[in-house]
Amino acid sequence: MKQITMADVAKLANVSKSTVSQYLNKRYDYMSEETKKRIEKAIDELGYQPNFIARSLKQKSTATIGVIVFNILHMLTTQVLRAIEDVCQERDFHVIVCNTDDDPEKEKKYIEMLRAKQVDGLIIFPTGKNLELYEKMAEEQFPLVFVDRMVPGIPADAILLDNHKAAALAVNHLVEHGYERIGIVAPPIVPHVIPRLERIEGFKHALAEKGLPVMEEYMVGMEISRIKEGLTQLFSSDCPPEALFAINDLTLMEILNFVKDNNIRIPDDLALISIDDVPFSNIYTPTLTTIAQPTFEMGKKAAERLFMQIDQKNEHHQQILRFPPTLIQRGSVKQRT
Amino acid sequence: MKQITMADVAKLANVSKSTVSQYLNKRYDYMSEETKKRIEKAIDELGYQPNFIARSLKQKSTATIGVIVFNILHMLTTQVLRAIEDVCQERDFHVIVCNTDDDPEKEKKYIEMLRAKQVDGLIIFPTGKNLELYEKMAEEQFPLVFVDRMVPGIPADAILLDNHKAAALAVNHLVEHGYERIGIVAPPIVPHVIPRLERIEGFKHALAEKGLPVMEEYMVGMEISRIKEGLTQLFSSDCPPEALFAINDLTLMEILNFVKDNNIRIPDDLALISIDDVPFSNIYTPTLTTIAQPTFEMGKKAAERLFMQIDQKNEHHQQILRFPPTLIQRGSVKQRT
DNA sequence: TTGTATGCGTTATCAA
DNA sequence: TTGATAACGCATACAA
């Protein structure tokens, strides 16, 4: 199956390659109607399809961006990705998607290969551990946007949730409904995972604001697989929490699993609020009070910022955008009597 | 930021471009240790990064495939996609993801643009409406795999669920638990959406096998947004179904919504079984009996079939692979007394 | 063991 | 209004 090239079209239409090129790029300014017709005819007679790779080589633009995420299976990722793709679709850009599983090595490889493939920009949910690489891209002014996490010290755009506010929303909502012994459940707290840190920090801060003590034993921070144990222990203590704040959907799932196994009634025995508005929040019994991230807006903005950088390759100022979370009141937190 | 090319490396290392090229492609057979050293030095002194686009132009391979789906937000899609990406990762291939929203026009555009970008193959969840395009690809022996739906008449590989079996699994499970008045809930039945058709067909067939009548009024097939109304009507009849079979996760959600609004107790008032093992099936009350698709296996196989075609560009025989569904017994179907 | 020349399919510059 | 010709960055056959 031989590729049909511009040369073939040119020959058949009896014009030069350059003329065909002009035609394809709609530079009709000086082209006679007749040549146009002839070229058009030749094109569909041969079923000619332009080769973008060749064009990219010349034009230094592939109309392709890379999106590097931890895991496309996470809801946040999927939704952000969808929004990014929508923006790209409008501009006839394509999106290459890569999963790192939060492994810095994979991230490195992807960044390098995608750049070798000359993608026009990169949107990254960063592992945070490839400092040199991030730095290099920033220095070179390579279009780059971080999402979900940022990397301190790297002057790149970042699209984040306002994590402090999210935590405050949760705490305040609980406190206003009469809860005082509030626990928080999170994956392990590691220094480079900014959102977790910020959410915990926000939690403590909000508690303090409300004049409530921060109880270390109410803070469960461990591997997802161990959370159920952690909860078991916590709830076998003399004075278990009256309310739980799950900092993301994964921890929420573990909590729901735990309460199911232990016949803990929500919200009667335990109030529950979480960040990430899971798809079943409305159909679960009780319905789940959550704090939603504006995932689509975030994805859209990420793409827009990236295109801004792609368009004006000149100086561009870093922007750290924090998106406001939304409290969605449902049934897992009730007014205490 | 000027691109650094092989020529620059060659100059600095005092060798020719071809030697550098050899080096990069690890054709060390006849290269002196010294030249190797010099080239290596030059490369990292300049921070040289090869340009894959240029290489692709020459080699007619981009190490990139396209995956065209309806909507990345659907769980099935996301999981299949993840499996595909994993296989690609092993072969240093990249994946371009496109959402069609089941719109044939978008699909057409994507197929054409991706082919123009010279992707090495395409995995498509087809809308089923671009016959000429599919045909053209098949004729040209362009590497192509359909997933989820197949397109009758197009000799391309297809990875599907064994829909008949899935429906039979559901019906038999219900019948064996003492249910006879079984309803089915589906999106609109349109001729080109094979899985829906097959599931309904399988449903009728299984019912017949069990000697049960097929009740037209128990078959709800309508737009997702109207399903709740449909159910309301169905359940206000004299003789509503005792069990419901949701043919996918979307319809399941509507049913759950409906039962919640109407205080219908599952499984006491109504048994429920569905295709697609939703993430909350284990934590919902009751836990949900589902029929799972082997999504990861399907994605993996899709990628493998595609690579098979990519590798041996010669003759290749169409294969329609039907994957077996798995019944996961949980709490939404109980033994009737 | 390494270098020269040519081609991949476009686009861009400049002539004609 | 159109055509030659030279890039783009790399790979490869062949020569040296």
Q: How far is CA A149 from CA A85, A128, A321, B87, in A?
A: 20, 8, 11, 27
Average pLDDT over chain A reads 94
User: A243 pLDDT exceeds 70?
Assistant: yes
Residue recorded with tokens 């735990």: A258
Q: What is the pLDDT of residue A282?
A: 94
Which tokens hold the place of A327? 């409290």
How far, in Å, CA of B252 to CA of B262, rounded? 15
CB atoms within 10 A of CB A249: 20
Q: Compute the average pLDDT of residues A244-257.
A: 96
Burial B86-124 (b: 16+ CB within 10 A, else e): ebbbeeebbbbbbbbebebebbbebbebbbebbbbbbbb
Q: Which of B239, B247, B231, B241 is nearest to B168 (CA)?
A: B247
Q: Compute the average pLDDT of residues A65-77.
A: 96
User: A1 pLDDT exceeds 60?
Assistant: no
CATH superfamily of A163-292: Response regulator (3.40.50.2300)
CB atoms within 10 A of CB A75: 20
Asked if the Cβ of residue A32 lies within 7 A of any atom of strand D, the reply is yes
User: A227 pLDDT exceeds 90?
Assistant: yes
Confidence of residue B216 (pLDDT cuts 50, 70, 90): very high
Q: What is the pLDDT of residue B316?
A: 79
Helix (H, G, I), strand (E, B) or coil at B78: helix
Confidence of residue B317 (pLDDT cuts 50, 70, 90): confident
Q: Compute the average pLDDT of residues A264-282.
A: 96
Residue of A nearest to B79 (CA): A73
How large a percentage of chain A has pLDDT more than 90? Answer: 83
Helix (H, G, I), strand (E, B) or coil at B248: coil
CA geometry: angle at A229 spanning A224 and A231, to 5°?
90
* Predicted TM-score (pTM) of this structure: 0.94
Q: Best residue in B4, B71, B117, B250 to probe A by mutation, most A CBs within 10 Å? A: B117
3-state secondary structure labels for all residues of A258-277: HHHHCCCCCCCCCEEEEECC
What residues of B are in contact with residue A92 (Cβ under 8 Å)? 113
User: B95 pLDDT exceeds 60?
Assistant: yes
User: B142 pLDDT exceeds 90?
Assistant: yes
How long a stretch of residues is chain B? 337
Confidence of residue B2 (pLDDT cuts 50, 70, 90): low
Q: What is the pLDDT of residue A215?
A: 93
Topology annotation, domain A63-161+295-325: Rossmann fold (3.40.50)
Residue recorded with tokens 């394809």: A24
Which tokens hold the place of A206? 């909000």
A135-143, long-range: CB < 8 A, 24+ apart: A137/A111, A140/B1, A141/A309, A141/A313, A141/A316, A141/B1, A142/A115, A143/A65, A143/A306, A143/A309, A143/A310
Which tokens hold the place of B259? 């039962």
Chain C: positions less than 7 Å from a protein CB are 1-5, 7-13
The reply to whether B262 touches chain A by the CB within 8 Å rule is no
β-strand pairing of B289-292 with B326-328:
antiparallel
Where residue B63 falls (left for φ over 0; alpha for ψ -120 to 50; beta otherwise) is left
Q: What is the pLDDT of residue B205?
A: 97
Q: What is the pLDDT of residue A25?
A: 83
Confidence of residue A201 (pLDDT cuts 50, 70, 90): very high
Confidence of residue B337 (pLDDT cuts 50, 70, 90): confident
Contact at CB, A94 and B72, closer than 8 angstroms = no
CA→C1' distance for B50 and C1 (Å): 23
Same fold, B63-161+295-325 and B163-292: yes
Topology annotation, domain B6-50: 434 Repressor (Amino-terminal Domain) (1.10.260)
CA geometry: angle at B263 spanning B262 and B264, to 5°?
95
Confidence of residue B201 (pLDDT cuts 50, 70, 90): very high
Which tokens hold the place of B18? 């071809």
Low-confidence winner among A56-70, A308-322, B140-154 (lowest mean pLDDT):
A308-322
Sequence-distant (6+) residues with CB within 8 A of B130 are: B104, B107, B108, B111
Q: Which of A219, A221, A216 is nearest to A187 (CA)?
A: A221
Residue B172: is it exposed, middle or buried by C-beta count within 10 angstroms (0-12/13-18/19+)? middle
Q: What is the pLDDT of residue B36?
A: 86
Low-confidence winner among A19-33, A170-184, B166-180 (lowest mean pLDDT):
A19-33
User: B302 pLDDT exceeds 60?
Assistant: yes
Q: What is the pLDDT of residue B29?
A: 65
User: B314 pLDDT exceeds 70?
Assistant: no
Residue recorded with tokens 């590691």: A190
How far, in Å, CA of A146 to CA of A298, rounded? 11
User: B253 pLDDT exceeds 80?
Assistant: yes
Q: Compute the average pLDDT of residues A92-117.
A: 97
Q: Which of B297, B316, B296, B295 is nearest to B307 (CA)?
A: B316
Q: Where are the domains of chain B?
A: 6-50, 63-161+295-325, 163-292
Q: Are B49 and B4 in contact (CB under 8 A)?
A: yes
Q: What is the pLDDT of residue A184?
A: 97
Confidence of residue B1 (pLDDT cuts 50, 70, 90): low
CB atoms within 10 A of CB B240: 18
Where residue A254 falls (left for φ over 0; alpha for ψ -120 to 50; beta otherwise) is alpha
How many alpha carbons lie under 13 Å from residue A332 in its C-beta half-sphere?
28
Average pLDDT over chain B reads 94
User: A247 pLDDT exceeds 70?
Assistant: yes
> Minimal Cα–Cα distance from A121 to chain B, Å?
14
List beta partners, residue A243.
Answer: A182, A271
The reply to whether A139 touches chain B by the CB within 8 Å rule is no
The reply to whether B331 touches chain A by the CB within 8 Å rule is no
